Chains A and B, each alone.
Chain A
Amino acid sequence: MPTTSSRPTTGPTRTSTGGPAATDPWLADALAEVRRDPRAAERVLPLVGRHVGRDPLRPDVDPAGTVHGTVDDAARASVVVALAAVEPAPVLAAHLATLYRDGDAVERRGVLRGLDALTGSATGPLPGEVVAVGRDVAGDALRANDTALVAAAVGPFAAAHLDQHTWRHAVLKLVFQGTSLDAVAGLDDRADAELARMAADLAAERRAAGRAVPADLHRIGAPPA
Protein backbone atom coordinates (compact mmCIF):
# COMPACT_ATOMS: atom_id res chain seq x y z
CA MET A 1 0.00 0.00 0.00
CA PRO A 2 1.55 3.34 -0.96
CA THR A 3 2.02 5.81 1.85
CA THR A 4 -0.34 8.38 0.44
CA SER A 5 -3.29 6.01 0.33
CA SER A 6 -2.64 4.78 3.86
CA ARG A 7 -3.65 8.16 5.27
CA PRO A 8 -6.77 8.21 7.34
CA THR A 9 -9.72 8.71 5.05
CA THR A 10 -12.41 9.25 7.59
CA GLY A 11 -14.30 12.10 6.06
CA PRO A 12 -13.60 15.78 5.66
CA THR A 13 -14.40 16.80 9.22
CA ARG A 14 -12.17 14.29 10.98
CA THR A 15 -8.65 14.08 9.63
CA SER A 16 -6.75 15.80 6.91
CA THR A 17 -5.02 13.87 4.19
CA GLY A 18 -2.61 16.75 3.78
CA GLY A 19 -0.59 18.67 6.32
CA PRO A 20 3.10 18.52 7.04
CA ALA A 21 3.03 14.82 7.93
CA ALA A 22 1.88 13.67 4.50
CA THR A 23 5.17 14.51 2.85
CA ASP A 24 7.44 13.92 5.81
CA PRO A 25 10.40 11.78 4.74
CA TRP A 26 10.93 10.44 8.25
CA LEU A 27 7.35 9.18 8.35
CA ALA A 28 7.64 7.60 4.91
CA ASP A 29 10.71 5.67 6.08
CA ALA A 30 9.04 4.75 9.35
CA LEU A 31 5.95 3.39 7.60
CA ALA A 32 8.12 1.35 5.24
CA GLU A 33 9.99 -0.05 8.23
CA VAL A 34 6.76 -0.93 10.02
CA ARG A 35 5.58 -2.81 6.94
CA ARG A 36 8.85 -4.76 6.83
CA ASP A 37 8.88 -5.42 10.57
CA PRO A 38 5.68 -4.61 12.49
CA ARG A 39 7.59 -4.69 15.78
CA ALA A 40 9.07 -1.34 14.72
CA ALA A 41 5.71 0.25 15.60
CA GLU A 42 6.65 0.16 19.30
CA ARG A 43 9.70 2.30 18.57
CA VAL A 44 8.08 4.56 15.97
CA LEU A 45 4.86 5.61 17.75
CA PRO A 46 6.46 7.54 20.64
CA LEU A 47 8.86 9.36 18.24
CA VAL A 48 6.25 10.72 15.85
CA GLY A 49 5.69 14.13 17.46
CA ARG A 50 9.33 15.17 17.42
CA HIS A 51 9.60 14.37 13.71
CA VAL A 52 6.30 15.47 12.16
CA GLY A 53 5.27 18.15 14.67
CA ARG A 54 2.18 18.49 16.79
CA ASP A 55 0.11 21.11 14.98
CA PRO A 56 -3.67 20.92 14.84
CA LEU A 57 -5.10 19.58 11.59
CA ARG A 58 -7.76 22.30 11.44
CA PRO A 59 -6.28 25.33 13.23
CA ASP A 60 -9.06 27.59 11.91
CA VAL A 61 -11.82 25.86 13.92
CA ASP A 62 -9.83 23.75 16.37
CA PRO A 63 -6.65 25.54 17.46
CA ALA A 64 -5.84 22.98 20.17
CA GLY A 65 -6.31 19.97 17.90
CA THR A 66 -8.67 18.39 20.43
CA VAL A 67 -11.71 18.08 18.18
CA HIS A 68 -10.24 17.07 14.84
CA GLY A 69 -6.84 15.83 15.94
CA THR A 70 -3.29 16.84 15.24
CA VAL A 71 -0.62 16.16 12.65
CA ASP A 72 0.99 13.57 14.90
CA ASP A 73 -2.40 11.92 15.53
CA ALA A 74 -2.78 11.46 11.77
CA ALA A 75 0.77 10.19 11.43
CA ARG A 76 0.30 7.63 14.21
CA ALA A 77 -2.99 6.59 12.62
CA SER A 78 -1.08 5.89 9.42
CA VAL A 79 1.24 3.61 11.40
CA VAL A 80 -1.82 1.65 12.53
CA VAL A 81 -3.03 1.46 8.94
CA ALA A 82 0.40 0.18 7.89
CA LEU A 83 0.21 -2.52 10.55
CA ALA A 84 -3.23 -3.54 9.32
CA ALA A 85 -1.81 -4.00 5.84
CA VAL A 86 0.69 -6.62 6.96
CA GLU A 87 -0.60 -8.29 10.14
CA PRO A 88 -3.34 -10.95 10.19
CA ALA A 89 -6.39 -9.91 12.20
CA PRO A 90 -5.66 -11.77 15.47
CA VAL A 91 -2.06 -10.52 15.49
CA LEU A 92 -3.14 -6.98 14.68
CA ALA A 93 -5.76 -7.05 17.44
CA ALA A 94 -3.24 -8.19 20.07
CA HIS A 95 -0.69 -5.69 18.78
CA LEU A 96 -3.10 -2.75 19.01
CA ALA A 97 -4.04 -3.80 22.55
CA THR A 98 -0.35 -3.76 23.51
CA LEU A 99 0.37 -0.44 21.79
CA TYR A 100 -2.56 1.13 23.59
CA ARG A 101 -1.75 -0.39 26.97
CA ASP A 102 1.90 0.65 26.84
CA GLY A 103 1.19 3.98 25.18
CA ASP A 104 1.02 7.41 26.74
CA ALA A 105 -1.92 9.69 25.91
CA VAL A 106 -0.70 10.67 22.43
CA GLU A 107 0.11 7.07 21.44
CA ARG A 108 -3.33 6.03 22.67
CA ARG A 109 -4.87 8.73 20.53
CA GLY A 110 -2.90 7.36 17.62
CA VAL A 111 -4.33 3.88 18.12
CA LEU A 112 -7.87 5.27 18.38
CA ARG A 113 -7.54 7.46 15.31
CA GLY A 114 -5.92 4.53 13.51
CA LEU A 115 -9.02 2.48 14.24
CA ASP A 116 -11.05 5.35 12.78
CA ALA A 117 -8.91 5.28 9.67
CA LEU A 118 -9.39 1.52 9.30
CA THR A 119 -13.13 1.91 9.83
CA GLY A 120 -13.32 4.49 7.08
CA SER A 121 -11.08 2.65 4.64
CA ALA A 122 -12.29 0.79 1.58
CA THR A 123 -10.85 -2.56 2.65
CA GLY A 124 -14.14 -3.92 3.96
CA PRO A 125 -15.50 -4.42 7.48
CA LEU A 126 -13.05 -4.63 10.38
CA PRO A 127 -12.37 -8.17 11.60
CA GLY A 128 -14.16 -9.15 14.82
CA GLU A 129 -10.96 -9.47 16.86
CA VAL A 130 -9.96 -5.92 15.96
CA VAL A 131 -13.43 -4.59 16.72
CA ALA A 132 -13.35 -6.26 20.16
CA VAL A 133 -10.00 -4.67 21.03
CA GLY A 134 -11.21 -1.38 19.61
CA ARG A 135 -14.24 -1.43 21.89
CA ASP A 136 -12.01 -2.14 24.91
CA VAL A 137 -9.58 0.67 24.22
CA ALA A 138 -12.34 3.13 23.32
CA GLY A 139 -14.03 2.22 26.61
CA ASP A 140 -10.79 2.93 28.46
CA ALA A 141 -10.33 6.28 26.71
CA LEU A 142 -13.91 7.27 27.48
CA ARG A 143 -13.24 6.76 31.19
CA ALA A 144 -10.27 9.15 31.02
CA ASN A 145 -10.24 12.84 31.93
CA ASP A 146 -7.84 13.84 29.15
CA THR A 147 -10.10 15.79 26.80
CA ALA A 148 -8.11 15.01 23.64
CA LEU A 149 -8.08 11.30 24.45
CA VAL A 150 -11.85 11.28 25.00
CA ALA A 151 -12.38 13.21 21.77
CA ALA A 152 -10.29 10.65 19.88
CA ALA A 153 -12.68 7.91 20.97
CA VAL A 154 -15.85 9.23 19.32
CA GLY A 155 -14.86 8.99 15.67
CA PRO A 156 -15.99 6.64 12.89
CA PHE A 157 -14.94 3.51 14.83
CA ALA A 158 -17.17 4.56 17.74
CA ALA A 159 -20.01 5.44 15.38
CA ALA A 160 -19.81 2.00 13.81
CA HIS A 161 -19.07 -0.21 16.82
CA LEU A 162 -19.94 1.26 20.24
CA ASP A 163 -23.21 0.12 21.77
CA GLN A 164 -25.84 2.83 22.02
CA HIS A 165 -25.59 3.28 25.80
CA THR A 166 -21.80 3.73 25.75
CA TRP A 167 -22.04 6.03 22.76
CA ARG A 168 -24.66 8.29 24.42
CA HIS A 169 -22.51 8.62 27.53
CA ALA A 170 -19.53 9.48 25.32
CA VAL A 171 -21.50 12.29 23.66
CA LEU A 172 -22.63 13.67 27.00
CA LYS A 173 -19.09 13.48 28.33
CA LEU A 174 -17.92 15.74 25.51
CA VAL A 175 -20.53 18.30 26.54
CA PHE A 176 -19.29 18.07 30.15
CA GLN A 177 -15.70 18.60 29.16
CA GLY A 178 -16.58 21.44 26.79
CA THR A 179 -15.43 19.74 23.60
CA SER A 180 -17.44 20.57 20.49
CA LEU A 181 -19.74 17.78 19.29
CA ASP A 182 -18.10 18.30 15.90
CA ALA A 183 -15.72 15.63 17.22
CA VAL A 184 -18.49 13.00 17.06
CA ALA A 185 -18.75 11.01 13.83
CA GLY A 186 -22.29 10.13 12.76
CA LEU A 187 -23.88 12.32 15.42
CA ASP A 188 -27.12 12.91 13.53
CA ASP A 189 -27.44 9.24 12.56
CA ARG A 190 -27.05 7.85 16.07
CA ALA A 191 -28.65 10.56 18.21
CA ASP A 192 -31.92 9.18 19.60
CA ALA A 193 -34.78 10.02 21.95
CA GLU A 194 -32.90 8.72 25.01
CA LEU A 195 -29.94 11.02 24.26
CA ALA A 196 -32.40 13.90 23.91
CA ARG A 197 -33.90 12.94 27.28
CA MET A 198 -30.44 12.95 28.89
CA ALA A 199 -29.67 16.31 27.28
CA ALA A 200 -32.95 17.77 28.52
CA ASP A 201 -32.28 16.53 32.08
CA LEU A 202 -28.83 18.06 32.06
CA ALA A 203 -30.19 21.36 30.73
CA ALA A 204 -32.79 21.35 33.53
CA GLU A 205 -30.08 20.59 36.11
CA ARG A 206 -27.96 23.50 34.85
CA ARG A 207 -30.93 25.88 34.91
CA ALA A 208 -31.84 24.80 38.46
CA ALA A 209 -28.28 25.60 39.45
CA GLY A 210 -28.42 29.00 37.79
CA ARG A 211 -25.66 27.97 35.39
CA ALA A 212 -25.32 28.38 31.63
CA VAL A 213 -26.71 25.64 29.37
CA PRO A 214 -24.09 24.53 26.81
CA ALA A 215 -25.31 25.23 23.26
CA ASP A 216 -24.35 21.71 22.14
CA LEU A 217 -27.13 20.29 24.35
CA HIS A 218 -29.69 21.78 21.99
CA ARG A 219 -27.92 20.12 19.11
CA ILE A 220 -28.77 16.72 20.60
CA GLY A 221 -32.33 17.48 21.51
CA ALA A 222 -32.55 19.57 24.68
CA PRO A 223 -35.48 21.94 24.24
CA PRO A 224 -34.78 25.69 24.24
CA ALA A 225 -35.26 27.47 27.58
Chain B
Amino acid sequence: MRILDPHIHMTSRTTDDYEAMYAVGVRAVVEPAFWLGQPRSGVDSFRDYFDSLLGWERFRAAQFGIRHHATIALNPKEANDPRCREVLDLLPRYLAKDGVVAVGEVGYDAMTPAEDEVFAHQLALAREAGLPVLVHTPHRDKQAGTRRTLDVVRESGIDPGMVLVDHLNETTVAAVRDAGAWAGFSIYPDTKMDERRMVALLQEHGTERMIVDSAADWGRSDPLKTWRTGTAMLEAGFTEDDVDQVLWRNPVALFAQSGNLVLDPVPGFVPGDLPAPAEFAGSSVLRGVRA
Protein backbone atom coordinates (compact mmCIF):
# COMPACT_ATOMS: atom_id res chain seq x y z
CA MET B 1 0.00 0.00 0.00
CA ARG B 2 1.41 3.43 -0.95
CA ILE B 3 -0.16 6.37 0.80
CA LEU B 4 -0.21 10.14 0.51
CA ASP B 5 -1.93 11.53 3.62
CA PRO B 6 -3.36 14.78 2.24
CA HIS B 7 -4.22 16.31 5.61
CA ILE B 8 -2.08 15.73 8.68
CA HIS B 9 -0.62 18.18 11.20
CA MET B 10 2.80 16.59 11.67
CA THR B 11 4.06 19.54 13.72
CA SER B 12 1.97 18.05 16.55
CA ARG B 13 3.27 14.50 16.08
CA THR B 14 6.38 12.60 17.13
CA THR B 15 9.19 10.89 15.22
CA ASP B 16 7.64 7.57 16.34
CA ASP B 17 4.63 8.54 14.27
CA TYR B 18 6.81 9.18 11.24
CA GLU B 19 8.42 5.75 11.63
CA ALA B 20 5.07 4.00 12.05
CA MET B 21 3.64 5.87 9.06
CA TYR B 22 6.56 4.87 6.84
CA ALA B 23 6.20 1.26 7.97
CA VAL B 24 2.59 1.06 6.71
CA GLY B 25 3.31 2.77 3.39
CA VAL B 26 3.00 6.53 3.91
CA ARG B 27 5.51 8.11 1.53
CA ALA B 28 4.18 11.66 1.29
CA VAL B 29 2.11 14.00 3.43
CA VAL B 30 0.43 17.38 3.08
CA GLU B 31 0.30 19.51 6.22
CA PRO B 32 -2.29 22.30 6.15
CA ALA B 33 -1.70 25.45 8.15
CA PHE B 34 -4.21 25.68 10.96
CA TRP B 35 -4.45 27.08 14.46
CA LEU B 36 -2.57 26.08 17.59
CA GLY B 37 -5.47 24.88 19.73
CA GLN B 38 -5.56 28.35 21.23
CA PRO B 39 -5.50 31.76 19.60
CA ARG B 40 -2.33 33.30 18.23
CA SER B 41 -1.71 36.85 19.36
CA GLY B 42 -0.35 38.31 16.13
CA VAL B 43 1.11 38.03 12.66
CA ASP B 44 4.67 37.13 13.66
CA SER B 45 3.38 33.93 15.24
CA PHE B 46 2.08 32.91 11.79
CA ARG B 47 5.34 33.86 10.12
CA ASP B 48 7.30 31.46 12.35
CA TYR B 49 4.66 28.77 11.93
CA PHE B 50 4.71 28.98 8.13
CA ASP B 51 8.52 28.96 8.18
CA SER B 52 8.54 25.84 10.34
CA LEU B 53 6.05 24.07 8.04
CA LEU B 54 8.26 24.77 5.03
CA GLY B 55 11.57 24.32 6.84
CA TRP B 56 12.03 22.22 9.93
CA GLU B 57 9.00 19.93 9.38
CA ARG B 58 9.93 19.23 5.76
CA PHE B 59 13.44 18.34 6.90
CA ARG B 60 12.17 16.24 9.81
CA ALA B 61 9.84 14.19 7.58
CA ALA B 62 12.61 13.53 5.09
CA GLN B 63 14.74 12.03 7.87
CA PHE B 64 12.11 9.31 8.05
CA GLY B 65 11.73 8.79 4.31
CA ILE B 66 8.55 10.83 3.93
CA ARG B 67 8.06 13.73 1.52
CA HIS B 68 6.43 16.65 3.30
CA HIS B 69 4.38 19.41 1.67
CA ALA B 70 2.31 22.22 3.12
CA THR B 71 -0.78 24.26 2.42
CA ILE B 72 -0.65 27.87 3.59
CA ALA B 73 -3.54 30.13 4.64
CA LEU B 74 -5.20 32.11 7.37
CA ASN B 75 -7.47 29.50 8.99
CA PRO B 76 -11.23 30.18 9.35
CA LYS B 77 -11.20 30.41 13.13
CA GLU B 78 -8.48 33.07 13.27
CA ALA B 79 -10.00 34.94 10.34
CA ASN B 80 -12.28 36.37 13.03
CA ASP B 81 -9.40 37.80 15.05
CA PRO B 82 -8.42 41.31 13.96
CA ARG B 83 -4.89 40.73 15.27
CA CYS B 84 -4.40 38.03 12.64
CA ARG B 85 -6.00 39.55 9.54
CA GLU B 86 -2.73 41.12 8.33
CA VAL B 87 -1.52 37.60 7.65
CA LEU B 88 -3.39 37.95 4.37
CA ASP B 89 -0.69 40.39 3.22
CA LEU B 90 2.02 37.79 3.87
CA LEU B 91 0.32 35.03 1.92
CA PRO B 92 1.32 35.85 -1.68
CA ARG B 93 4.99 35.58 -0.70
CA TYR B 94 4.46 32.20 0.98
CA LEU B 95 2.19 30.80 -1.73
CA ALA B 96 5.05 31.11 -4.21
CA LYS B 97 7.37 28.90 -2.17
CA ASP B 98 8.62 25.41 -2.92
CA GLY B 99 6.70 22.74 -1.09
CA VAL B 100 3.42 24.68 -1.02
CA VAL B 101 0.87 22.52 -2.82
CA ALA B 102 -2.34 24.40 -1.99
CA VAL B 103 -4.00 27.28 -0.21
CA GLY B 104 -5.50 25.95 3.05
CA GLU B 105 -7.13 25.33 5.39
CA VAL B 106 -9.69 27.91 4.37
CA GLY B 107 -13.47 27.87 4.72
CA TYR B 108 -15.90 28.36 7.58
CA ASP B 109 -15.85 27.93 11.32
CA ALA B 110 -18.74 30.01 12.68
CA MET B 111 -19.88 31.41 9.29
CA THR B 112 -19.27 35.07 10.12
CA PRO B 113 -18.94 37.99 7.69
CA ALA B 114 -15.19 38.09 8.47
CA GLU B 115 -14.92 34.44 7.44
CA ASP B 116 -16.82 35.21 4.21
CA GLU B 117 -14.32 37.93 3.28
CA VAL B 118 -11.21 35.97 4.18
CA PHE B 119 -12.42 32.84 2.38
CA ALA B 120 -13.26 34.71 -0.84
CA HIS B 121 -9.99 36.63 -0.71
CA GLN B 122 -7.96 33.44 -0.34
CA LEU B 123 -9.81 31.72 -3.19
CA ALA B 124 -8.73 34.68 -5.34
CA LEU B 125 -5.14 34.28 -4.09
CA ALA B 126 -5.27 30.60 -5.06
CA ARG B 127 -6.34 31.49 -8.60
CA GLU B 128 -3.54 34.03 -8.90
CA ALA B 129 -0.97 31.57 -7.55
CA GLY B 130 -2.28 28.67 -9.66
CA LEU B 131 -2.74 26.49 -6.59
CA PRO B 132 -5.41 24.03 -5.46
CA VAL B 133 -7.44 24.85 -2.36
CA LEU B 134 -8.02 22.74 0.75
CA VAL B 135 -11.35 23.70 2.32
CA HIS B 136 -12.27 22.88 5.91
CA THR B 137 -16.01 22.40 6.51
CA PRO B 138 -17.33 23.51 9.90
CA HIS B 139 -18.12 21.28 12.86
CA ARG B 140 -21.18 23.30 13.79
CA ASP B 141 -23.99 23.66 11.25
CA LYS B 142 -22.07 21.48 8.80
CA GLN B 143 -24.75 21.04 6.15
CA ALA B 144 -25.46 24.76 5.85
CA GLY B 145 -21.73 25.47 6.01
CA THR B 146 -20.98 23.04 3.21
CA ARG B 147 -23.68 24.52 0.98
CA ARG B 148 -22.36 28.01 1.58
CA THR B 149 -18.81 26.81 0.93
CA LEU B 150 -19.83 25.47 -2.47
CA ASP B 151 -21.64 28.73 -3.29
CA VAL B 152 -18.53 30.77 -2.50
CA VAL B 153 -16.32 28.40 -4.50
CA ARG B 154 -18.66 28.72 -7.49
CA GLU B 155 -18.76 32.51 -7.24
CA SER B 156 -14.97 32.69 -7.11
CA GLY B 157 -14.71 31.20 -10.59
CA ILE B 158 -12.06 28.68 -9.56
CA ASP B 159 -12.11 25.30 -11.31
CA PRO B 160 -13.86 22.91 -8.85
CA GLY B 161 -11.28 20.31 -9.88
CA MET B 162 -8.77 22.46 -7.97
CA VAL B 163 -10.80 22.27 -4.76
CA LEU B 164 -10.75 19.65 -1.99
CA VAL B 165 -13.67 20.01 0.43
CA ASP B 166 -12.68 18.13 3.57
CA HIS B 167 -14.22 16.70 6.77
CA LEU B 168 -17.30 15.46 4.90
CA ASN B 169 -19.82 12.92 6.13
CA GLU B 170 -22.97 11.13 5.01
CA THR B 171 -25.02 14.33 4.90
CA THR B 172 -22.54 16.51 2.97
CA VAL B 173 -20.82 14.23 0.45
CA ALA B 174 -23.41 14.39 -2.34
CA ALA B 175 -23.44 18.19 -2.66
CA VAL B 176 -19.63 18.30 -2.95
CA ARG B 177 -19.52 15.58 -5.59
CA ASP B 178 -22.32 17.23 -7.55
CA ALA B 179 -20.30 20.46 -7.56
CA GLY B 180 -17.36 18.68 -9.21
CA ALA B 181 -14.97 19.18 -6.30
CA TRP B 182 -12.83 16.54 -4.58
CA ALA B 183 -14.56 14.99 -1.57
CA GLY B 184 -12.34 14.64 1.50
CA PHE B 185 -12.96 12.51 4.59
CA SER B 186 -11.05 12.78 7.85
CA ILE B 187 -10.99 9.41 9.57
CA TYR B 188 -10.95 9.86 13.34
CA PRO B 189 -11.01 7.44 16.28
CA ASP B 190 -14.58 8.71 16.65
CA THR B 191 -16.46 11.87 15.61
CA LYS B 192 -15.95 13.02 12.02
CA MET B 193 -15.80 9.69 10.13
CA ASP B 194 -14.59 6.16 10.78
CA GLU B 195 -13.23 3.37 8.57
CA ARG B 196 -16.46 1.38 8.52
CA ARG B 197 -18.59 4.36 7.51
CA MET B 198 -15.93 5.37 4.97
CA VAL B 199 -16.07 1.98 3.28
CA ALA B 200 -19.87 2.30 3.06
CA LEU B 201 -19.51 5.73 1.43
CA LEU B 202 -17.02 4.36 -1.11
CA GLN B 203 -19.43 1.53 -1.90
CA GLU B 204 -22.19 4.04 -2.47
CA HIS B 205 -20.28 6.79 -4.32
CA GLY B 206 -17.35 4.93 -5.91
CA THR B 207 -13.64 5.79 -5.71
CA GLU B 208 -13.45 8.69 -8.19
CA ARG B 209 -12.59 12.09 -6.65
CA MET B 210 -12.76 10.55 -3.15
CA ILE B 211 -9.91 11.39 -0.76
CA VAL B 212 -9.14 9.99 2.69
CA ASP B 213 -6.98 11.63 5.33
CA SER B 214 -6.16 11.20 9.01
CA ALA B 215 -6.30 14.92 9.92
CA ALA B 216 -4.13 13.83 12.86
CA ASP B 217 -3.10 16.72 15.09
CA TRP B 218 -2.83 17.54 18.80
CA GLY B 219 -6.31 16.19 19.42
CA ARG B 220 -7.38 12.58 19.78
CA SER B 221 -6.44 11.23 16.39
CA ASP B 222 -4.44 8.50 14.67
CA PRO B 223 -1.81 9.09 11.94
CA LEU B 224 -2.36 5.54 10.62
CA LYS B 225 -6.06 6.04 9.81
CA THR B 226 -5.35 6.24 6.06
CA TRP B 227 -3.76 2.79 6.19
CA ARG B 228 -6.52 1.42 8.43
CA THR B 229 -9.08 2.63 5.91
CA GLY B 230 -7.17 0.94 3.09
CA THR B 231 -7.15 -2.26 5.10
CA ALA B 232 -10.89 -1.97 5.77
CA MET B 233 -11.47 -1.45 2.02
CA LEU B 234 -9.57 -4.64 1.18
CA GLU B 235 -11.52 -6.57 3.81
CA ALA B 236 -14.75 -5.29 2.27
CA GLY B 237 -13.78 -6.57 -1.17
CA PHE B 238 -12.21 -3.52 -2.81
CA THR B 239 -9.15 -4.28 -4.95
CA GLU B 240 -5.56 -3.18 -4.36
CA ASP B 241 -6.05 -0.84 -7.32
CA ASP B 242 -9.12 0.77 -5.70
CA VAL B 243 -7.12 1.35 -2.54
CA ASP B 244 -4.24 2.80 -4.54
CA GLN B 245 -6.62 5.18 -6.29
CA VAL B 246 -8.11 6.51 -3.04
CA LEU B 247 -4.96 6.64 -0.92
CA TRP B 248 -2.42 7.63 -3.58
CA ARG B 249 -3.53 8.48 -7.12
CA ASN B 250 -6.43 10.73 -6.15
CA PRO B 251 -4.50 13.04 -3.78
CA VAL B 252 -1.52 12.96 -6.14
CA ALA B 253 -3.70 14.09 -9.05
CA LEU B 254 -5.16 16.93 -6.99
CA PHE B 255 -1.94 18.32 -5.53
CA ALA B 256 0.22 17.69 -8.62
CA GLN B 257 -1.72 20.59 -10.16
CA SER B 258 0.47 22.85 -8.00
CA GLY B 259 3.67 21.73 -9.73
CA ASN B 260 5.21 21.43 -6.28
CA LEU B 261 4.50 17.82 -5.40
CA VAL B 262 7.71 15.79 -4.91
CA LEU B 263 7.23 12.04 -4.79
CA ASP B 264 10.68 10.56 -5.52
CA PRO B 265 12.08 8.49 -2.68
CA VAL B 266 14.20 10.53 -0.26
CA PRO B 267 17.80 10.03 -1.50
CA GLY B 268 19.95 8.04 0.90
CA PHE B 269 17.05 6.98 3.10
CA VAL B 270 17.26 3.34 4.14
CA PRO B 271 14.19 1.97 5.95
CA GLY B 272 15.08 0.74 9.42
CA ASP B 273 18.36 2.68 9.59
CA LEU B 274 18.80 5.57 11.98
CA PRO B 275 18.22 8.95 10.36
CA ALA B 276 21.30 10.42 8.71
CA PRO B 277 23.26 12.89 10.86
CA ALA B 278 22.02 15.76 8.73
CA GLU B 279 21.24 19.16 10.17
CA PHE B 280 18.68 21.86 9.48
CA ALA B 281 19.69 25.33 10.68
CA GLY B 282 22.12 23.69 13.09
CA SER B 283 19.62 21.21 14.49
CA SER B 284 19.20 17.51 13.86
CA VAL B 285 16.52 14.96 14.78
CA LEU B 286 19.20 12.91 16.50
CA ARG B 287 19.67 13.06 20.23
CA GLY B 288 22.80 12.49 22.28
CA VAL B 289 26.36 11.96 21.09
CA ARG B 290 26.82 11.48 17.38
CA ALA B 291 29.29 8.88 16.27
Contacts and interface: CB of A to CB of B under 8 A. Distances in A.
Nearest to B142: A205
Nearest to B110: A169
A213 B143 CA distance: 16
B38 A198 contact: no
Nearest to A149: B38
14 contacts: A143-B39, A143-B78, A143-B80, A143-B109, A144-B38, A145-B37, A165-B110, A165-B111, A172-B140, A176-B140, A198-B144, A205-B143, A208-B169, A210-B197
Closest 5 CB pairs of A and B: A208-B170, A172-B140, A169-B110, A205-B171, A198-B141
Contacts of A101: 41
Interface residues of A, number: 23
Contact of B139 (A142, A176, A201, A209): A176
A166 interface: yes
B42 to A, nearest CB: 11
Interface of B: 37-39, 41, 77-78, 80-81, 109-112, 139-144, 169-171, 190, 193, 197
B38 A201 contact: no
Given A205-B170, A205-B171, A209-B169, A144 B143 contact: no
Interface of A: 101, 139-140, 142-146, 165-166, 169, 172-173, 176, 198, 201-202, 204-205, 208-211
Contacts of B109: 143
A205 B170 CA distance: 7
A144 B36 CA distance: 10
B39 A209 contact: no
A209 B197 contact: yes
B116 to A, nearest CB: 12
B39 A140 contact: yes
A101 B140 CA distance: 26
Contacts of A169: 110-111, 140-141
Nearest to A201: B143
Contacts of A146: 38
Given A143-B81, A205-B169, A208-B169, A165 B112 contact: yes
A191 B170 CA distance: 27
A34 to B, nearest CB: 26
Given A198-B140, A205-B142, A209-B197, A143 B171 contact: no
B113 to A, nearest CB: 9
B142 A201 contact: yes
A118 to B, nearest CB: 24
